[in-house]
Copies of this chain bind each other. A is one copy, B any other.
Amino acid sequence: MYKAATIKDIARALDVSPSTVSRALRDSHEVGTETKQKVLEYARQINYHYNPAALSLRSRRSYSIGIMVADVANSFFSQTINGIESIAYERGYNVIITQSHDSYEREVINMEHLANRSVDGLLISMSAQTVDYAHVTRLHEQGLPIVFFDRILSDIDTFKVTTDNFRSAYNATEALIKKGYRNIAHLANAPQLSITTERLNGYKAALADNDIPFNENLLRHCYNGGRDEQEVEQAVNSILSAADKPDALFIASDRISTACIRALNQIKGADELAIIGFSNSDVVDLLSPRISYIRQRAFEMGQIAIEMLIKLIESKYPVYEFETKLLEAEVYWQK
């Protein structure tokens, strides 16, 4: 098996001490220019790379960060991950991705796992099922740097970045109203998620500002975040067979959107229904029935999140000033 070159190898070859080599490689000023050149040149030549395990052991840093998302298969999350990686690699961190699949147990186990793997920090989007935050709070209190993105936790004081969900929902709902729709139903996500409340509130506010009373019968929560297609199907069916049948539908997430569309394909006479939903899918424009969509700036969200995290990790002093950044989403009308 191949054995990588070490600092000692370089030191021996160049007849200097390991410490000098180390200094030269770190570009320290307390090394002679000539020696530094020599070392750098030779290191390049033999394709030297530092040993991350040794570095970690000494520095008590792993140069890896953990990501916790519901699902990489979700377009929104995969775009966020792309954003995260684009910065992380550049800054010398690698990234360990774990998926909760929206299960509380998996979230706890995975976070435990990441902490034991001694990541330098955590980027978290909460699972839909989680109501008890003890596992997050514990790590946070132990001093592990954590940044929340997308599905954030208001109780924990740290950096956060998410979409301006209130405003996005407000805008989408109001646009539907301006187009003449009055009975606008809302398929909401699991109620414990931050994004659910924010989007629901935006929807309600737009109704109120346009003198449309909020109608409880036009609201359904999907407790499994659209994972359970039956649940969505039932919600769609019951909402469409209500006395005050909706003329428009506002859907709170990607997964629920597709499950809903699948359900609508089974239903006759839903053609006049105007549909708008959150979606970052790259095929949403090809779905039938047609659906207008709200697209979040996922890639950018990932970039901002990782930059916040690296700031936390590399800060020399404890940070007490935290920011919650909100990103605008864009609405795309179809049909």
Report A's interface with B, CB cutoff 8 A: 1-2, 4, 49, 51-54, 56-57, 62, 64, 71-73, 75, 78-79, 81-82, 85, 89, 94-99, 113, 116-118, 142-144, 258, 261-262, 265, 281-283, 285-288
Contacts and interface: CB of A to CB of B under 8 A. Distances in A.
Contacts of A258: 282-283, 286
Nearest first, the 8 closest Cβ-Cβ pairs linking A and B are A53-B56, A2-B142, A288-B288, A73-B78, A53-B57, A1-B143, A49-B116, A72-B78
B96 A96 contact: yes
A265 B143 CA distance: 53
Contact of A144 (B2, B82, B286): B2
A102 to B, nearest CB: 14
A144 B53 CA distance: 17
Contacts of A64: 96
B56 A82 contact: no
Q: How many identical chains are in the complex?
A: 2
A50 to B, nearest CB: 8
22 contacts: A2-B143, A2-B144, A51-B57, A52-B62, A52-B117, A53-B54, A53-B57, A53-B62, A54-B57, A57-B57, A71-B78, A72-B81, A78-B78, A82-B99, A85-B99, A89-B113, A95-B97, A96-B96, A265-B286, A281-B283, A286-B288, A287-B288
Nearest to A1: B143
Nearest to A286: B287
Nearest to A291: B286
A129 to B, nearest CB: 18
Given A72-B81, A95-B97, A97-B97, 11 more contacts: A51-B118, A52-B62, A54-B57, A56-B56, A73-B78, A94-B96, A258-B286, A261-B283, A262-B285, A287-B288, A288-B288
Contacts of A4: 118
Contacts of A71: 78
Contacts of A85: 98-99
Contacts of A2: 142-144
Contacts of A81: 72
Contact of A283 (B51, B99, B283): B283
A214 to B, nearest CB: 30
A246 B288 CA distance: 25
A296 B2 CA distance: 36
Nearest to A264: B286
A327 B99 CA distance: 26
A96 B95 contact: yes
Contact of A262 (B56, B117, B286): B286
A143 B286 CA distance: 46
A64 B66 CA distance: 13
Nearest to A285: B262
A96 B94 CA distance: 7
Nearest to A109: B89
Nearest to A63: B117
